[in-house]
Structure 1
Amino acid sequence: MRAHEAGALHGDLGYTGPAWLRTPGDVNALVPQLWPRTVTRAETGFLQVGGVSVAELAEEYGTPAYFLDEADLRSRCREFVAAFADADVFYAGKSFLCKAVVKIVHEEGLFLDVCTGGELAVALKAGFPPEKIGFHGNNKSPRELQRALQAGVGRIIVDSFDEITRLTELAREQGKRPRVLIRVTVGVEAHTHEFIATAHEDQKFGFSLAGGAAFAAAVRILDDGVLDLIGLHSHIGSQIFDTSGFEVAARRIVELQAQIRDARGVELPDLDLGGGFGIAYTTQDDPATPGDLAKRINKIVDSECELANLRRPRLSIEPGRAIVGPAVFTLYEVGTVKDVDGIRTYVSVDGGMSDNIRTALYDASYSATMANRASAAEPMLARVVGKHCESGDIVVKDEFLPADVQPGDFIAVPGTGAYCRSMASNYNHVPRPPVVAVRDGASRVIVRRETEDDLLALDVG
């Protein structure tokens, strides 16, 4: 679809999509907030990250591939640690975890959240101090809990009465007293996709505040005396830009802390408000800085504790997406360009929903740019799609690309550090891409590309 056709679509057919699609602007321009901080476009038109051209990276590592700007990742870690100087910053490992990232997170002074035995195994293998690990999950198995106890995990966030029973029995057997927090479902409707909103009542996580289960869990743990109840935990969702949800969550959590104090004479020392801080996937997204988040959240906690006449607990937060998401982009090679009767131009790349399921799963929006050359061609409204046998295999729903995009061109999609490689699959038996860290003119593989031999090695039939 050419530029004048796109304009007709917007004006004549009542187009109601994102406003940014109405003004394509310079298709060669890079919007800084969407890209890792060392990404630039050279005079040749090639993107560069960490001083290395994507031409060199593609030649060495192939496509598709995730490229991590290590300097960007480290700087985001430092910004959160500095902004929340009087709190504990837990990196949410579920967003993306590998041994190299675990080591970076530790070197930059963060704590670490894991939510399965597999994530815990990666953390321990990378040498992360177990006492700085928090263990989440709504259905931790006895084996996972036993491993956490044996490793000396610093905190376990209990999510059900079944888990309290399970953990209490294991702790008695091992003669240990693990530190625990209660995950509380605070009834906040976060303004996000239904599948990533986690604090409303009708979902699987946590103990209901409104129904009294959260208070009952606290009483049970305190009365048993086997587990060391240190605090309460709340997580209201993901990709959130408005701190008003955190304000409501903090108020309700602090009220519960006051109720526990009044009933049992115990002021819990810790309060975890979770993460879910949003990032920019398109120019319509305007995320807060760590400094802004810290200022607002600290003000909320201070105010609520003062009203409840509670000592201010030690605050914890859990950024994952906000740290690793913007630090990575995915590079693809174009294989097919197909104009469908003037309705839409489909640009097919060599990856797809196996390396980024978020568009199909959450209706997520992404941006894209041609990464191997600048173009003077007029912009066209295109859809970047993958190679999988699904019509929903969409990487970028709508983006202006140069009208001369052709097979062999490279397309780069920013903001793919969180929940892309971590949710990647082998659908259609496509091997998963590598993750390559780039810094100061050098690159290194931190997660290697899967091969067909890897896939066949699991097939024992």
Structure 2
Amino acid sequence: MLHRERNVENGILQIGGAAADQLAKACGTPLYVYDEGMIEARLKAYKQHFRSDLFDTEVLYASKAFACKALYQLLNRYDFGLDVVSGGELFLAKESGVPMDKIYFHGNNKTDAEIEMALSYGCGTIVVDHKMECERLIEAAEKQEHQINVMIRINPGVTAHTHKYIITGDLDSKFGVMMQNEEMILSMISSINQCSQLNFQGFHSHIGSQIFDLRAYETVIERLVKFIKKCETEHKIEINCLNLGGGFGSYYTQEDQPKAIEETCETLIKKCEKEIREKEVKLKQILIEPGRSIVAEPGYTLYTIGFMKDTPNKSFLFVDGGMTDNMRVALYDAKYDCDLACRMDEEKENKYTIAGKCCESGDILIERAMLPKAESGDLLAVYATGAYGYSMSNNYNRMRKLPVVFVKNGKARMVIKGESYSDQIRLETDEEVLI
């Protein structure tokens, strides 16, 4: 696969119709920048292509990739549902005006407070992860009047070919009930159906992230539809919905070959239709949960190069950010591409190691970046940082969290302000705790 084409004018990288150097000048660096038009194009593609005449469909956005009010409101305009996994994401959704019936609350260890919060908000669907959570949800639901839809997360035992930390569907995953544990699943369904405030809807599955081989999803569909057929025929249980999760791959470097959204949707839809027809099951709705594939590539991080250093084997470029604004390299050995944003038309003849300013030897963003001969003060653009950049950012070494800017048709708007040093100490206190 060739490098992704970049929009360049007079040697300067353009993002959403705006020059990268002008964005850096207006907002400072480091800076997260999102091409809002590119996000919208991906939302339209999912809504257009994930459709069937055989069953209803819904596309949920996986909030963990990146969450903020501006994005939630954009998703709402395109009638996307929302996958949340914490009280914080649920609260943000409510504050952003997302309809509660569009929210699916996931998570393997929801606290009592989070369960009660979801119930009090009238959260549309709660996805229970195991028997203990199911029991806790029933206990909490019986104390209130809201009707809540419930799905059970099923672990189909499919191991996707991706990094071990982002595999979620293998036999020893911390997520979900193993499909082979039929007795437990049936017991959970029975308990849910006996609670007048809960409506059992179906099963959820998610096998991992950054998956390029769609055959893994086809295997999941085969196994789950077969299991649904068994539930219907042998146990007389009505299954309305099947959520296939997300994890669709995105492009970061030449090593990656993600499928187009159109191909992904077509493959999943056709396989679901085939299995439903052949097994004659009564599924009413199929859902998916893309996150990364919506926001990863539309996102950029702009840095300013500071000092430089040569060692016997490496030439370092130090930038004004690092592992505090992009943890994926340290966590997953993730790979990224980059360019000197104002020298896009120059030959890339020099190999550099891009390193951050944190006090860790592992604070490396890119190991072998081919660039023109760099100088202190150059603007560096790292591509495809829109997923798990801001959402994983942290204050290690008391580094400040970065501002986030959305750009469309050459106009920029700041959707999250950058953190100040004063912001970091706003919660510090010296109050006596009564024990």
TM-score range (shorter-chain normalised) is over 0.9
Alignment-derived partner of residue 245 in structure 1: 216
Pair 377,292 (structure 1): closer, same or farther in 2 beyond 3 Å: closer
Alignment-derived partner of residue 410 in structure 2: 441
Match of 1:228 among 183, 194, 199: 199
Match of 2:342 among 359, 365, 372: 372
Tell me, yes or no, if structure 1 residue 306 matches structure 2 residue 272: no
CA distance in structure 2 between the aligned counterparts of 1:351 and 1:119, rounded to whole angstroms: 26
Alignment-derived partner of residue 40 in structure 2: 74
Match of 1:123 among 69, 88, 93: 93
Tell me, yes or no, if structure 1 residue 272 matches structure 2 residue 243: yes
Pair 247,375 (structure 1): closer, same or farther in 2 beyond 3 Å: closer
Alignment-derived partner of residue 9 in structure 1: none
Are the counterparts in 1 of residues 147 and 197 from structure 2 also a CA contact under 8 Å?
A: yes
Match of 1:88 among 45, 54, 58: 58
Q: Name the amino acid aligned to 2:146.
A: K
Are the counterparts in 1 of residues 250 and 297 from structure 2 also a CA contact under 8 Å?
A: yes
SS of alignment partner, residue 66 of structure 1:
strand
Please list the CA deviations of residues 109-160 of structure 1 after superposition, one character each: whole Å capped at 9, or x if unmatched. 2111111000001010010111111111111112111121121111110111
Structure 1: which 4+ aligned runs deviate by more than 6 Å?
none
Alignment-derived partner of residue 97 in structure 1: 67
Please list the CA deviations of residues 420-460 of structure 1 after superposition, one character each: whole Å capped at 9, or x if unmatched. 10000001000011100111121111011001001122232
Are the counterparts in 2 of residues 366 and 397 from structure 1 also a CA contact under 8 Å?
A: no
Match of 1:53 among 12, 15, 19: 19
Tell me, yes or no, if structure 1 residue 139 matches structure 2 residue 105: no
CA distance in structure 1 between the aligned counterparts of 2:90 and 2:238, rounded to whole angstroms: 30
Q: Name the amino acid aligned to 2:34.
A: L
Q: Name the amino acid aligned to 1:269.
A: N
Q: Name the amino acid aligned to 1:364.
A: A
Match of 2:139 among 141, 159, 169: 169
Are the counterparts in 2 of residues 157 and 183 from structure 1 also a CA contact under 8 Å?
A: yes
SS of alignment partner, residue 334 of structure 1:
strand
Alignment-derived partner of residue 207 in structure 1: 177
TM-score, normalization: structure 1? 0.89
Q: CA deviation at 1:209?
A: 0.9
SS of alignment partner, residue 230 of structure 1:
strand
Tell me, yes or no, if structure 1 residue 349 matches structure 2 residue 316: no
Alignment-derived partner of residue 263 in structure 1: 234
Q: CA RMSD in A?
A: 1.6
Please list the CA deviations of residues 310-352 of structure 1 after superposition, one character each: whole Å capped at 9, or x if unmatched. 12431000000000111110000101222212x1211111100
Please list the CA deviations of residues 146-202 of structure 1 after superposition, one character each: whole Å capped at 9, or x if unmatched. 121121111110111111111111111103331011000110010011110000121
CA distance in structure 2 between the aligned counterparts of 1:54 and 1:157, rounded to whole angstroms: 41
CA distance in structure 2 between the aligned counterparts of 1:153 and 1:224, rounded to whole angstroms: 17
Q: CA deviation at 1:220?
A: 3.3
Tell me, yes or no, if structure 1 residue 286 matches structure 2 residue 252: no
Tell me, yes or no, if structure 1 residue 428 matches structure 2 residue 401: no
Q: CA deviation at 1:224?
A: 4.9
Q: CA deviation at 1:104?
A: 0.3
Q: Between 352-361 and 331-340, report the one with greater CA deviation.
A: 331-340
Alignment-derived partner of residue 416 in structure 1: 385
SS of alignment partner, residue 89 of structure 1:
strand
Q: CA deviation at 1:221?
A: 2.4
Pair 443,308 (structure 1): closer, same or farther in 2 beyond 3 Å: same
- Tell me the matched-pair count: 425
The percentage of aligned residue pairs carrying the same residue is 38
Pair 377,317 (structure 1): closer, same or farther in 2 beyond 3 Å: closer
Task: Return 5+ residue gaps in structure 2 as ranges.
Answer: 431-435
Are the counterparts in 1 of residues 60 and 83 from structure 2 also a CA contact under 8 Å?
A: yes
Are the counterparts in 2 of residues 258 and 267 from structure 1 also a CA contact under 8 Å?
A: no
CA distance in structure 2 between the aligned counterparts of 1:260 and 1:221, rounded to whole angstroms: 15
CA distance in structure 2 between the aligned counterparts of 1:267 and 1:401, rounded to whole angstroms: 58
CA distance in structure 2 between the aligned counterparts of 1:289 and 1:51, rounded to whole angstroms: 23
Pair 386,211 (structure 1): closer, same or farther in 2 beyond 3 Å: same
CA distance in structure 1 between the aligned counterparts of 2:376 and 2:73, rounded to whole angstroms: 39
SS of alignment partner, residue 391 of structure 2:
coil
Q: Name the amino acid aligned to 2:220.
A: A
Query: Matches of residues 172-211 of structure 1 in structure 2 within 5 Å?
Result: 172-211=142-181
CA distance in structure 2 between the aligned counterparts of 1:393 and 1:313, rounded to whole angstroms: 48
Are the counterparts in 1 of residues 153 and 177 from structure 2 also a CA contact under 8 Å?
A: yes
Please list the CA deviations of residues 348-393 of structure 1 after superposition, one character each: whole Å capped at 9, or x if unmatched. 1110000000000001111111102246455122211100011111
Q: Between 247-256 and 272-281, report the one with greater CA deviation.
A: 247-256
Are the counterparts in 2 of residues 241 and 288 from structure 1 also a CA contact under 8 Å?
A: yes
SS of alignment partner, residue 307 of structure 2:
strand
Pair 430,268 (structure 1): closer, same or farther in 2 beyond 3 Å: same
SS of alignment partner, residue 457 of structure 1:
coil
Tell me, yes or no, if structure 1 residue 41 matches structure 2 residue 11: no
TM-score, normalization: structure 2? 0.94
SS of alignment partner, residue 305 of structure 1:
helix
Task: Return 5+ residue gaps in structure 1 as ranges.
Answer: 1-19, 33-38
Are the counterparts in 2 of residues 218 and 260 from structure 1 also a CA contact under 8 Å?
A: no
CA distance in structure 2 between the aligned counterparts of 1:116 and 1:378, rounded to whole angstroms: 44
Tell me, yes or no, if structure 1 residue 406 matches structure 2 residue 372: no
Pair 84,393 (structure 1): closer, same or farther in 2 beyond 3 Å: same
Q: Name the amino acid aligned to 2:216.
A: G
